[in-house]
């Protein structure tokens, strides 16, 4: 007797999304989560007495509108607001770029009339291709299936559907698509713009969670990946979830529970039970066994296959490949409690720019050097830091007059060279991150009254993000679409019967999207109906 129909490993937002759809579809679902709180990387916690913030993920755009409406997330308490300005990039010489509705063009023209004239065409091209991505987000990519079975025939139709979607693009758009999938963002931006800050604005998106130079081939795709979202119907815009990113996890958890799913916290999975080549349940860290018809995993695929499954249960070639799954987004995350808002030399005092994503990385060369430094020494002398001050938009996070800021720092080595441990260097690197912001906003360091530090190693320990990888695996061409997590398994089905992938290690990858959870649920429900009607 199965105790439940589906066990979901991990109550990140994707595991919860999958649970909600499956429960709505009539299956009995149990989610088991290692942490004491649901939401995975989309959580809000008190990190300093009286100061709450999104601990890991910190800004919203990619969360799929269909997931928001299907799961009635607004009714479950989710409210997303737009930033009053989108991005603010101060430069050491006192110039700056401030983007957002009605202000980007003028701000850009102050730096370069030529770039301002070129912006619309560049954005239009990016937007056209982002529309293609949007069309693919909620469909399983074509999967490679050997032989001639019903599954292979279905995949043939899926491939035809994909070709049809791509066929709608003009030849020039297809060329642009190829560029965005294969080229470096740096090259494309150098060809189009002349101002360092404008290039840095787009280039930053190419290196967020991508431990690579903006001149690395493939970085243009990461730029695109950050462009397919929207906030309240406005494409490409980033916003804030009131109450922090935990509000997303909590709203999805409520939707799942309302549909009948159970969520067990402090219930880490030690092992997936395999019987006759089939996933048959899980054993928890406390020794409890839960049997199920299907097991869906939302954890990093390498973690699942190298730590939670007995190696002799897996095909040898599959295991050998997944061992090489590339993790390590090179990110260092801090939350700081502030006694006062920062004042930037380039634009002093309060203003809408303090609601923006404030990017400290004034040129592509700066980002390139940051990566080279990190490769050599573990971190950069001049690091890339995005500062977001959500308390400028949300008064639920701390007392009036005080503020919380997220520091999202790129380009630290996932593992430090020469046998050094992050445990011995996290404080020193945190000081460097704060000093870097202080250079652009003097007095910032003094205003910090509490801080939380998450090195790549901390991210791995706390959230199960191997190598601290925020996306559950690099967004490189060999780990995307039909190859996520591996050719032959892009249809959310693992190499064992009854085993599914429902987290960011599956298409369309990382970010708070809900898409892998949504897509996996559809496949599980289809398989269930094929078996039981």
Give how many residues touch ligand FAD by CB under 6 A. 39
326: tokens are 């590339």
Q: Quick check: 268 binds ligand FAD (CB under 6 A)?
A: yes
Site string for ligand FAD, 429-448 (x = CB under 6 A): --------------------
Q: Which of 6, 7, 27, 35 binds ligand FAD (CB under 6 A)?
A: 35
What's the longest Cα–Cα distance across the chain?
A: 70
Q: Are 355 and 393 in contact (CB under 8 A)?
A: yes
Rounded alpha-carbon distances, angstroms, from residue 420 to 414, 415, 423, 426, 464: 11, 8, 9, 11, 21
By CB under 6 A, what part of segment 55-84 binds ligand FAD? 56-59, 62
- Kindly write out the interface string for residues 483-522 of this chain, putting x where it contacts ligand FAD by CB under 6 A and - elsewhere: --------------------xx-----xxx----------
Q: Which stretch binds ligand FAD (CB under 6 A): 273-281, 350-358, 390-398, 456-464?
A: 456-464
Nearest-CA neighbor of 329 among 227, 429, 409? 409
Which helix (DSSP H) or strand (DSSP E) does residue 454 occupy? strand 448-454
Of 188 and 292, the one with the shorter C-beta distance to ligand FAD is 292
Q: Tell me if residue 36 falls in helix, strand or coil.
A: coil
What letter would DSSP give residue 129?
H
CB nearer to ligand FAD: pick between 194 and 288: 288
| CA gyration radius, the chain | 22
* Of the residues 4, 5, 8, 10, which one makes contact with ligand FAD according to CB under 6 A: 10
- Tally of CB atoms within 10 A around 530: 9
Token pair belonging to 417: 């060279």
CA 56 – CA 246 distance, rounded (Å): 10
- The single-letter DSSP state of residue 314 is S
Question: Residue for token digits 């959870």?
Answer: 517
470 binds ligand FAD (CB under 6 A): yes
Least distance in Å: CB of 515 to ligand FAD? Answer: 10
By CB under 6 A, tell whether 9 contacts ligand FAD: yes
The Cα 364–Cα 199 span in angstroms is 7
Q: Which of 463, 481, 492, 500 binds ligand FAD (CB under 6 A)?
A: 463
Shortest spacing between CB 245 and ligand FAD, in angstroms: 7
Nearer residue to ligand FAD within complex by CB, 185 or 253: 253
281 to 310: interface string for ligand FAD, x by CB under 6 A = -----------------xx--------x--
Q: Which is nearer to ligand FAD, 342 or 503 (CB)?
A: 503
Decide whether 347 or 457 has the Cβ nearer to ligand FAD: 457
- The DSSP 8-state label assigned to residue 27 in this structure reads -
Residues 6+ positions from 380 with CB-CB distance below 8 Å: 369, 370, 371, 373, 374, 411, 412
Site for ligand FAD in 323-342 (CB under 6 A): 331, 333
Binding segment for ligand FAD (CB under 6 A), chosen from 11-19, 191-199, 351-359, 443-451, is 11-19
H helix or E strand, kind and range, residue 126: helix 113-137
Q: How far is the CB of 460 from ligand FAD (least distance, A)?
A: 10
- Check residue 459 for interaction with ligand FAD (CB under 6 A): yes
| Position 355 contacts ligand FAD (CB under 6 A) | no
Minimum Å gap between C-beta 352 and ligand FAD is 20
d(CA 182, CA 174): 12
Alpha-carbon dihedral of residues 332, 333, 337, 339, nearest 10 degrees? 50
Residue 464 as a binder of ligand FAD (CB under 6 A): the answer is: yes
Give the interface with ligand FAD as residue ranges (CB under 6 A). 9-15, 32-35, 40-42, 56-59, 62, 268-269, 298-299, 308, 331, 333, 408, 459, 463-465, 470-472, 503-504, 510-512
């Amino acid at each position: 007797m199965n105790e439940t129909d589906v066990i979901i490993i991990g109550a990140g937002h994707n595991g919860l999304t999958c649970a909600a759809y499956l429960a709505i579809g009539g299956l009995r679902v149990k989610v088991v989560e290692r942490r004491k709180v649901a939401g995975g990387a989309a959580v809000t916690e008190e990190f300093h007495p009286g100061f709450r913030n999104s601990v890991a993920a910190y800004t919203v755009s990619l969360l799929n509108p269909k997931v928001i409406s299907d799961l009635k997330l607004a009714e479950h308490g989710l409210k997303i607001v737009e930033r009053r300005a989108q991005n603010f990039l101060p430069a050491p010489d006192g110039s700056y770029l401030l983007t957002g509705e009605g202000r980007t063009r003028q701000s850009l023209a102050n730096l370069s009339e030529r770039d301002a004239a070129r912006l619309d065409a560049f954005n239009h091209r990016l937007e056209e291709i982002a529309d293609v991505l949007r069309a693919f987000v909620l469909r399983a990519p074509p999967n490679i299936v050997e032989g001639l079975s019903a599954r292979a025939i279905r995949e043939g139709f899926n491939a035809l559907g994909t070709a049809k979607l791509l066929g709608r693009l003009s030849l020039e758009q297809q060329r642009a698509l190829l560029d965005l999938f294969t080229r470096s963002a740096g090259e494309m931006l150098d060809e189009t713009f002349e101002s360092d800050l404008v290039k840095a604005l787009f280039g930053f998106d190419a290196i967020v969670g991508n431990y690579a130079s903006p001149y690395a081939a493939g970085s243009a795709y990461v730029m695109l990946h950050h462009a397919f979202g929207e906030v309240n119907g406005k494409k490409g815009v980033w916003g804030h979830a009131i109450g922090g990113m935990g509000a997303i996890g909590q709203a999805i958890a409520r939707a799942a529970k309302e549909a009948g799913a159970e969520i067990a916290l402090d219930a880490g999975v030690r092992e997936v039970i395999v019987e006759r080549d089939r996933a048959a349940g899980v054993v928890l860290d406390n020794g409890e066994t839960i049997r199920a018809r299907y097991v869906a995993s939302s954890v990093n695929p390498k973690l699942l296959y190298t730590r939670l499954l007995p190696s002799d249960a897996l095909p040898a070639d599959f295991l050998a490949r997944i061992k090489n799954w590339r993790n390590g987004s090179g990110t260092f995350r801090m939350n700081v409690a502030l006694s006062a808002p920062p004042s930037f030399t380039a634009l002093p005092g309060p203003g809408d720019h303090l609601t923006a994503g404030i990017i400290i990385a004034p040129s592509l060369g700066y980002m390139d050097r940051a990566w080279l430094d990190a490769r050599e020494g573990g971190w950069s002398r001049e690091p890339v830091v995005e500062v977001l001050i959500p308390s400028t938009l949300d008064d639920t996070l701390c007392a009036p007059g005080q503020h919380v800021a997220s520091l999202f720092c790129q380009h630290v080595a996932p593992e430090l060279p020469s046998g050094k441990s992050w445990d011995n260097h996290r404080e020193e690197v945190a000081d460097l991150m704060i000093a870097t912001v202080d250079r652009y906003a003097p007095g910032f360091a003094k205003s910090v009254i509490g801080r939380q530090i998450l090195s790549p190693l901390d991210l791995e320990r706390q959230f199960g993000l191997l190598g601290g990888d925020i996306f559950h695996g690099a967004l490189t061409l060999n780990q995307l679409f039909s190859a996520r997590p591996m050719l032959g398994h892009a249809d959310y089905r693992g190499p064992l019967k009854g085993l599914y992938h429902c987290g960011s290690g599956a298409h369309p990858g990382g970010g708070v999207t809900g898409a892998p959870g949504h897509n996996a649920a559809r496949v599980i429900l289809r398989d269930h109906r094929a078996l039981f009607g």
